[in-house]
Protein backbone atom coordinates (compact mmCIF):
# COMPACT_ATOMS: atom_id res chain seq x y z
CA UNK A 1 0.00 0.00 0.00
CA UNK A 2 1.54 3.32 -1.06
CA UNK A 3 1.44 6.37 1.18
CA UNK A 4 0.74 9.72 -0.36
CA UNK A 5 0.38 13.15 1.20
CA UNK A 6 -2.80 15.19 0.99
CA UNK A 7 -2.01 17.85 -1.59
CA UNK A 8 -3.16 21.43 -1.45
CA UNK A 9 -3.94 23.80 -4.32
CA UNK A 10 -4.49 27.45 -3.48
CA UNK A 11 -6.70 29.49 -5.79
CA UNK A 12 -6.81 33.25 -5.37
CA UNK A 13 -9.95 34.73 -6.89
CA UNK A 14 -9.84 38.04 -8.79
CA UNK A 15 -10.79 41.17 -6.86
CA UNK A 16 -14.38 42.16 -7.52
CA UNK A 17 -15.35 45.70 -8.42
CA UNK A 18 -16.16 46.61 -4.80
CA UNK A 19 -12.71 45.45 -3.74
CA UNK A 20 -10.95 47.70 -6.19
CA UNK A 21 -10.59 51.34 -5.24
CA UNK A 22 -7.50 52.15 -7.24
CA UNK A 23 -5.40 51.47 -4.21
CA UNK A 24 -2.74 48.83 -4.75
CA UNK A 25 -2.54 48.14 -1.02
CA UNK A 26 -6.04 46.72 -1.24
CA UNK A 27 -4.54 43.43 -2.33
CA UNK A 28 -3.17 41.49 0.65
CA UNK A 29 -1.45 38.70 -1.30
CA UNK A 30 1.66 38.70 -3.47
CA UNK A 31 3.03 35.84 -5.54
CA UNK A 32 6.55 34.43 -5.74
CA UNK A 33 7.58 34.03 -9.38
CA UNK A 34 7.82 30.42 -10.59
CA UNK A 35 7.24 29.06 -7.08
CA UNK A 36 4.02 27.68 -5.57
CA UNK A 37 4.39 30.22 -2.81
CA UNK A 38 2.54 33.33 -1.69
CA UNK A 39 3.19 36.13 0.76
CA UNK A 40 0.33 37.57 2.77
CA UNK A 41 0.60 40.92 4.49
CA UNK A 42 4.20 42.04 4.65
CA UNK A 43 6.07 38.90 5.42
CA UNK A 44 4.06 35.72 6.11
CA UNK A 45 4.76 33.15 3.45
CA UNK A 46 3.00 29.86 2.65
CA UNK A 47 4.00 27.15 0.19
CA UNK A 48 1.49 24.74 -1.34
CA UNK A 49 1.57 22.06 -4.03
CA UNK A 50 -0.06 24.45 -6.49
CA UNK A 51 -0.73 28.18 -6.37
CA UNK A 52 -3.21 29.59 -8.89
CA UNK A 53 -3.17 33.40 -9.16
CA UNK A 54 -6.35 35.28 -10.20
CA UNK A 55 -5.58 35.13 -13.91
CA UNK A 56 -5.54 31.28 -13.93
CA UNK A 57 -8.21 29.90 -16.25
CA UNK A 58 -10.50 27.02 -15.37
CA UNK A 59 -8.74 24.93 -18.01
CA UNK A 60 -5.25 25.63 -16.62
CA UNK A 61 -6.37 24.64 -13.12
CA UNK A 62 -8.01 21.48 -14.45
CA UNK A 63 -5.07 20.36 -16.56
CA UNK A 64 -2.41 20.86 -13.93
CA UNK A 65 -4.09 19.71 -10.75
CA UNK A 66 -7.11 17.56 -11.64
CA UNK A 67 -6.19 15.44 -14.69
CA UNK A 68 -3.56 13.46 -12.72
CA UNK A 69 -6.34 12.59 -10.23
CA UNK A 70 -8.63 11.41 -13.05
CA UNK A 71 -5.81 9.03 -14.04
CA UNK A 72 -5.61 7.64 -10.49
CA UNK A 73 -9.41 7.22 -10.43
CA UNK A 74 -9.37 5.21 -13.65
CA UNK A 75 -6.59 3.03 -12.21
CA UNK A 76 -9.11 2.00 -9.53
CA UNK A 77 -8.14 4.35 -6.71
CA UNK A 78 -10.37 6.61 -4.63
CA UNK A 79 -10.02 10.36 -5.08
CA UNK A 80 -11.39 13.31 -3.09
CA UNK A 81 -11.36 17.02 -3.84
CA UNK A 82 -12.29 19.24 -0.90
CA UNK A 83 -13.15 22.85 -1.73
CA UNK A 84 -12.50 24.99 1.35
CA UNK A 85 -12.78 28.73 1.90
CA UNK A 86 -15.01 31.59 2.99
CA UNK A 87 -18.30 32.26 1.20
CA UNK A 88 -17.68 34.10 -2.06
CA UNK A 89 -14.09 32.87 -2.43
CA UNK A 90 -14.83 30.77 -5.54
CA UNK A 91 -15.57 27.22 -4.32
CA UNK A 92 -18.72 26.82 -6.45
CA UNK A 93 -17.13 28.54 -9.45
CA UNK A 94 -14.09 26.26 -9.28
CA UNK A 95 -16.04 23.03 -8.70
CA UNK A 96 -18.54 23.89 -11.41
CA UNK A 97 -21.64 23.19 -9.36
CA UNK A 98 -23.30 26.56 -9.99
CA UNK A 99 -25.07 27.84 -13.08
CA UNK A 100 -22.45 28.54 -15.68
CA UNK A 101 -23.44 31.74 -17.45
CA UNK A 102 -20.10 32.51 -19.11
CA UNK A 103 -19.14 29.08 -20.37
CA UNK A 104 -16.44 28.89 -17.74
CA UNK A 105 -16.91 25.19 -16.98
CA UNK A 106 -15.55 24.22 -13.61
CA UNK A 107 -14.00 20.95 -12.46
CA UNK A 108 -17.01 18.58 -12.47
CA UNK A 109 -18.22 19.29 -16.04
CA UNK A 110 -14.63 18.95 -17.32
CA UNK A 111 -14.22 15.74 -15.33
CA UNK A 112 -17.46 14.34 -16.87
CA UNK A 113 -16.06 14.81 -20.38
CA UNK A 114 -12.63 13.36 -19.56
CA UNK A 115 -14.16 10.34 -17.84
CA UNK A 116 -16.48 9.37 -20.71
CA UNK A 117 -13.81 9.97 -23.33
CA UNK A 118 -11.42 7.66 -21.50
CA UNK A 119 -13.97 4.97 -20.66
CA UNK A 120 -15.42 4.78 -24.18
CA UNK A 121 -11.88 4.44 -25.48
CA UNK A 122 -11.26 1.67 -22.94
CA UNK A 123 -14.38 -0.17 -24.06
CA UNK A 124 -13.54 0.20 -27.74
CA UNK A 125 -10.27 -1.69 -27.18
CA UNK A 126 -12.09 -4.91 -26.33
CA UNK A 127 -15.67 -6.06 -26.14
CA UNK A 128 -14.75 -7.80 -22.87
CA UNK A 129 -14.08 -4.49 -21.16
CA UNK A 130 -17.11 -3.10 -19.42
CA UNK A 131 -17.72 -0.20 -17.12
CA UNK A 132 -20.58 1.17 -15.08
CA UNK A 133 -20.86 4.66 -13.63
CA UNK A 134 -23.11 5.77 -10.77
CA UNK A 135 -23.63 9.16 -9.10
CA UNK A 136 -24.75 10.14 -5.62
CA UNK A 137 -25.25 13.60 -4.16
CA UNK A 138 -25.55 14.34 -0.45
CA UNK A 139 -25.93 17.45 1.61
CA UNK A 140 -25.01 17.75 5.26
CA UNK A 141 -26.69 20.46 7.22
CA UNK A 142 -25.93 20.50 10.94
CA UNK A 143 -25.88 16.74 11.58
CA UNK A 144 -28.63 15.85 9.08
CA UNK A 145 -27.84 14.08 5.84
CA UNK A 146 -30.09 14.85 2.86
CA UNK A 147 -30.06 12.83 -0.31
CA UNK A 148 -30.20 15.41 -3.11
CA UNK A 149 -31.01 12.80 -5.78
CA UNK A 150 -34.25 11.67 -4.14
CA UNK A 151 -37.30 13.38 -5.54
CA UNK A 152 -40.07 13.34 -3.00
CA UNK A 153 -42.84 11.16 -4.30
CA UNK A 154 -45.55 10.21 -1.81
CA UNK A 155 -46.27 7.01 -3.72
CA UNK A 156 -42.69 5.84 -3.38
CA UNK A 157 -41.44 6.91 0.04
CA UNK A 158 -37.73 6.61 0.66
CA UNK A 159 -36.96 3.13 2.02
CA UNK A 160 -34.14 4.05 4.35
CA UNK A 161 -32.65 7.29 5.60
CA UNK A 162 -29.05 7.91 4.59
CA UNK A 163 -26.73 6.66 7.32
CA UNK A 164 -23.07 6.03 7.93
CA UNK A 165 -22.28 2.43 8.91
CA UNK A 166 -19.21 0.48 9.89
CA UNK A 167 -18.48 -3.10 8.83
CA UNK A 168 -16.80 -5.67 11.10
CA UNK A 169 -13.34 -4.52 9.98
CA UNK A 170 -14.16 -0.96 11.05
CA UNK A 171 -14.48 0.15 7.42
CA UNK A 172 -16.95 2.99 6.94
CA UNK A 173 -19.63 2.75 4.29
CA UNK A 174 -22.60 4.92 3.40
CA UNK A 175 -26.01 3.22 3.42
CA UNK A 176 -29.46 4.18 2.16
CA UNK A 177 -28.03 6.59 -0.39
CA UNK A 178 -29.39 6.71 -3.92
CA UNK A 179 -26.84 5.79 -6.57
CA UNK A 180 -28.13 6.81 -9.96
CA UNK A 181 -26.86 4.94 -13.02
CA UNK A 182 -25.11 7.32 -15.41
CA UNK A 183 -24.83 6.47 -19.12
CA UNK A 184 -23.75 9.77 -20.65
CA UNK A 185 -22.11 13.11 -19.84
CA UNK A 186 -25.60 14.63 -20.00
CA UNK A 187 -26.90 12.19 -17.35
CA UNK A 188 -24.08 13.19 -15.04
CA UNK A 189 -24.70 16.90 -15.59
CA UNK A 190 -28.45 16.44 -15.03
CA UNK A 191 -27.80 14.80 -11.63
CA UNK A 192 -25.45 17.62 -10.70
CA UNK A 193 -27.91 20.31 -11.78
CA UNK A 194 -31.01 18.76 -10.19
CA UNK A 195 -29.18 18.09 -6.92
CA UNK A 196 -27.72 21.61 -6.80
CA UNK A 197 -31.18 23.01 -7.49
CA UNK A 198 -32.66 20.93 -4.67
CA UNK A 199 -29.94 22.15 -2.31
CA UNK A 200 -30.68 25.79 -3.10
CA UNK A 201 -34.46 25.37 -2.88
CA UNK A 202 -34.15 23.47 0.42
CA UNK A 203 -32.01 26.17 1.97
CA UNK A 204 -34.41 28.90 0.82
CA UNK A 205 -37.28 27.02 2.44
CA UNK A 206 -35.30 26.70 5.67
CA UNK A 207 -34.41 30.38 5.46
CA UNK A 208 -30.71 29.60 5.48
CA UNK A 209 -28.01 29.75 2.87
CA UNK A 210 -26.61 26.72 1.04
CA UNK A 211 -23.18 28.13 1.92
CA UNK A 212 -23.83 26.85 5.47
CA UNK A 213 -24.13 23.22 4.37
CA UNK A 214 -21.61 20.75 2.94
CA UNK A 215 -22.33 19.06 -0.39
CA UNK A 216 -20.72 15.81 -1.53
CA UNK A 217 -21.16 14.83 -5.19
CA UNK A 218 -19.70 11.37 -5.81
CA UNK A 219 -19.01 9.31 -8.89
CA UNK A 220 -18.58 5.55 -8.53
CA UNK A 221 -16.80 3.70 -11.30
CA UNK A 222 -17.00 -0.08 -11.66
CA UNK A 223 -14.73 -1.57 -14.30
CA UNK A 224 -14.20 -5.09 -15.52
CA UNK A 225 -11.69 -6.55 -17.93
CA UNK A 226 -11.13 -10.10 -19.02
CA UNK A 227 -8.35 -11.89 -20.86
CA UNK A 228 -6.04 -9.20 -22.01
CA UNK A 229 -2.43 -8.46 -21.35
CA UNK A 230 -2.40 -5.42 -19.25
CA UNK A 231 -4.32 -3.64 -16.63
CA UNK A 232 -7.14 -1.18 -17.04
CA UNK A 233 -4.95 1.87 -16.71
CA UNK A 234 -2.58 0.67 -19.45
CA UNK A 235 -5.50 0.03 -21.76
CA UNK A 236 -7.13 3.34 -21.10
CA UNK A 237 -3.90 5.20 -21.50
CA UNK A 238 -3.09 3.20 -24.63
CA UNK A 239 0.28 2.26 -23.16
CA UNK A 240 2.28 -0.79 -24.13
CA UNK A 241 2.21 -3.48 -21.52
CA UNK A 242 5.85 -4.58 -21.74
CA UNK A 243 6.73 -3.10 -18.38
CA UNK A 244 3.62 -4.24 -16.65
CA UNK A 245 2.66 -7.67 -15.31
CA UNK A 246 0.15 -9.55 -17.47
CA UNK A 247 -3.23 -10.32 -16.08
CA UNK A 248 -4.90 -13.52 -17.11
CA UNK A 249 -7.90 -13.49 -14.83
CA UNK A 250 -10.74 -10.99 -15.08
CA UNK A 251 -10.24 -7.91 -12.99
CA UNK A 252 -13.01 -5.96 -11.30
CA UNK A 253 -12.24 -2.57 -9.85
CA UNK A 254 -14.41 -0.12 -7.95
CA UNK A 255 -13.30 3.45 -7.32
CA UNK A 256 -15.01 6.54 -5.91
CA UNK A 257 -14.43 10.19 -6.72
CA UNK A 258 -15.85 12.62 -4.14
CA UNK A 259 -16.26 16.31 -4.98
CA UNK A 260 -16.83 18.09 -1.68
CA UNK A 261 -18.05 21.66 -1.53
CA UNK A 262 -17.57 22.54 2.14
CA UNK A 263 -19.62 25.12 4.02
CA UNK A 264 -18.25 28.68 4.07
CA UNK A 265 -15.36 28.78 6.54
CA UNK A 266 -16.08 32.29 7.85
CA UNK A 267 -16.90 32.82 11.49
CA UNK A 268 -20.52 33.92 11.59
CA UNK A 269 -21.97 36.28 14.09
CA UNK A 270 -25.03 34.46 15.32
CA UNK A 271 -27.95 36.18 16.92
CA UNK A 272 -29.67 33.85 19.30
CA UNK A 273 -33.13 35.19 20.11
CA UNK A 274 -34.21 32.14 22.07
CA UNK A 275 -33.58 33.57 25.52
CA UNK A 276 -34.89 36.73 27.16
CA UNK A 277 -31.89 38.67 26.04
CA UNK A 278 -30.37 38.46 22.59
CA UNK A 279 -26.98 36.83 22.70
CA UNK A 280 -24.46 37.25 19.99
CA UNK A 281 -21.70 34.75 19.61
CA UNK A 282 -19.18 33.69 17.04
CA UNK A 283 -20.42 30.56 15.34
CA UNK A 284 -18.06 28.15 13.67
CA UNK A 285 -19.57 25.44 11.50
CA UNK A 286 -19.47 22.26 13.61
CA UNK A 287 -18.43 20.00 10.72
CA UNK A 288 -15.53 22.27 9.75
CA UNK A 289 -14.39 22.46 13.36
CA UNK A 290 -14.39 18.65 13.59
CA UNK A 291 -12.63 18.44 10.21
CA UNK A 292 -9.96 20.85 11.51
CA UNK A 293 -9.44 18.66 14.59
CA UNK A 294 -9.08 15.53 12.43
CA UNK A 295 -6.57 17.36 10.21
CA UNK A 296 -4.56 18.46 13.28
CA UNK A 297 -4.51 14.97 14.83
CA UNK A 298 -3.44 13.34 11.55
CA UNK A 299 -0.83 16.02 10.93
CA UNK A 300 0.69 15.53 14.38
CA UNK A 301 0.75 11.78 13.79
CA UNK A 302 2.81 12.15 10.61
CA UNK A 303 5.15 14.63 12.30
CA UNK A 304 5.80 12.20 15.18
CA UNK A 305 6.65 9.18 13.07
CA UNK A 306 9.26 8.08 15.60
CA UNK A 307 6.72 7.86 18.40
CA UNK A 308 4.94 4.49 18.46
CA UNK A 309 1.85 5.92 20.10
CA UNK A 310 -0.50 7.30 17.53
CA UNK A 311 -2.88 10.16 18.18
CA UNK A 312 -6.56 9.58 18.65
CA UNK A 313 -8.21 10.88 15.47
CA UNK A 314 -11.68 12.24 16.34
CA UNK A 315 -13.50 11.06 13.18
CA UNK A 316 -16.61 10.34 15.27
CA UNK A 317 -17.12 13.95 16.29
CA UNK A 318 -19.23 14.81 13.24
CA UNK A 319 -20.97 13.16 10.32
CA UNK A 320 -18.78 15.13 7.93
CA UNK A 321 -15.59 13.58 9.33
CA UNK A 322 -17.20 10.11 9.42
CA UNK A 323 -18.24 10.45 5.76
CA UNK A 324 -14.76 11.64 4.80
CA UNK A 325 -12.83 9.16 6.94
CA UNK A 326 -11.24 7.50 3.89
CA UNK A 327 -10.36 10.84 2.34
CA UNK A 328 -8.25 11.99 5.28
CA UNK A 329 -5.67 9.50 6.55
CA UNK A 330 -7.31 6.63 4.63
CA UNK A 331 -7.56 5.09 1.20
CA UNK A 332 -7.78 8.08 -1.13
CA UNK A 333 -5.78 10.52 -3.19
CA UNK A 334 -6.94 13.81 -1.73
CA UNK A 335 -6.58 17.38 -2.94
CA UNK A 336 -7.71 20.32 -0.86
CA UNK A 337 -8.63 23.23 -3.08
CA UNK A 338 -8.28 26.24 -0.79
CA UNK A 339 -10.07 29.27 -2.22
CA UNK A 340 -9.24 32.76 -0.99
CA UNK A 341 -9.91 36.39 -1.73
CA UNK A 342 -6.91 38.69 -2.07
CA UNK A 343 -8.81 41.70 -0.77
CA UNK A 344 -7.31 43.24 2.36
CA UNK A 345 -10.82 43.47 3.81
CA UNK A 346 -10.83 39.64 3.86
CA UNK A 347 -7.33 39.42 5.37
CA UNK A 348 -8.33 37.54 8.56
CA UNK A 349 -10.44 34.92 6.79
CA UNK A 350 -7.80 34.47 4.10
CA UNK A 351 -5.10 33.94 6.73
CA UNK A 352 -7.33 31.40 8.52
CA UNK A 353 -7.84 29.47 5.27
CA UNK A 354 -4.09 29.47 4.55
CA UNK A 355 -3.34 28.07 8.02
CA UNK A 356 -6.07 25.42 7.74
CA UNK A 357 -4.84 24.31 4.31
CA UNK A 358 -1.22 24.32 5.45
CA UNK A 359 -2.03 21.83 8.23
CA UNK A 360 -3.74 19.51 5.73
CA UNK A 361 -0.45 19.09 3.86
CA UNK A 362 0.95 17.08 6.78
CA UNK A 363 -1.54 14.25 6.33
CA UNK A 364 -0.38 10.96 4.85
CA UNK A 365 -2.99 8.71 3.17
CA UNK A 366 -2.56 5.02 2.35
CA UNK A 367 -3.82 4.30 -1.15
CA UNK A 368 -4.56 0.97 -2.78
CA UNK A 369 -6.50 -0.30 -5.78
CA UNK A 370 -9.99 -1.44 -4.79
CA UNK A 371 -10.74 -4.89 -6.22
CA UNK A 372 -14.41 -5.76 -6.15
Neighbouring residues of 253: CB distance < 8 A, sequence distance ≥ 6: 76, 221, 222, 223, 224, 232, 369, 370, 371, 372
The CB-of-329 to ligand ADP minimum distance in angstroms stands at: 25
The CB-of-107 to ligand ADP minimum distance in angstroms stands at: 12
* H-run or E-run covering 199: helix 185-205
- Local structure of 258: helix, strand or coil: strand
Q: Which residue is nearest to ligand ADP (CB)?
A: 90
The CB-of-118 to ligand ADP minimum distance in angstroms stands at: 27
Nearer to ligand ADP, 211 or 296 (CB): 211
Nearer to ligand ADP, 266 or 301 (CB): 266
Nearer to ligand ADP, 68 or 98 (CB): 98
Nearer to ligand ADP, 5 or 189 (CB): 189
Query: 70, 313, 315, 300: which is closest to 172 by C-alpha?
Result: 315
User: From its phi and psi, is residue 349 left (phi > 0), alpha (psi between -120 and 50) or beta?
Assistant: alpha
Q: Is 290 in contact with 314 (CB distance < 8 Å)?
A: yes
Nearer to ligand ADP, 19 or 224 (CB): 19
Calculate the dihedral angle through the C-alpha atoms of 320, 326, 329, 333, rounding to the nearest 10 degrees: -110
Distance CA 4, CA 24 (A): 40
Distance CA 80, CA 334 (A): 5
The CB-of-85 to ligand ADP minimum distance in angstroms stands at: 6
Nearer to ligand ADP, 54 or 176 (CB): 54
Nearer to ligand ADP, 253 or 337 (CB): 337
**Bridge partners of residue 38, in order along the sequence:** 31, 46
Nearer to ligand ADP, 162 or 264 (CB): 264
Distance CA 263, CA 246 (A): 45
Characterize the bridge pairing of strands 180-182 and 130-141: antiparallel
Calculate the dihedral angle through the C-alpha atoms of 92, 287, 366, 112, rounding to the nearest 10 degrees: -20
The CB-of-136 to ligand ADP minimum distance in angstroms stands at: 21
The CB-of-111 to ligand ADP minimum distance in angstroms stands at: 17
The CB-of-89 to ligand ADP minimum distance in angstroms stands at: 4
Which parts of this chain interact with ligand ADP (CB under 6 A)?
A: 13-14, 85, 87-93, 98, 211, 339
The CB-of-170 to ligand ADP minimum distance in angstroms stands at: 34
Neighbouring residues of 272: CB distance < 8 A, sequence distance ≥ 6: 278, 279, 280, 281
Amino acid sequence: MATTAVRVALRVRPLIVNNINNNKDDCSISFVKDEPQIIIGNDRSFTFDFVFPPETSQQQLYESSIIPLVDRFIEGKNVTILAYGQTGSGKTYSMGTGIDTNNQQGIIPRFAHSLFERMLDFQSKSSNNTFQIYASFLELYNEDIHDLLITTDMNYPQQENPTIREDIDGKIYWAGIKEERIYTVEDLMRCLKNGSQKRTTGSTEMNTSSSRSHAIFSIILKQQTSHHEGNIASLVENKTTLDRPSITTPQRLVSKFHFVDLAGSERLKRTNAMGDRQKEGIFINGGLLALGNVISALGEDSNNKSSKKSQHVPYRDSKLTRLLQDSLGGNSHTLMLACVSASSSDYTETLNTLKYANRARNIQNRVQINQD
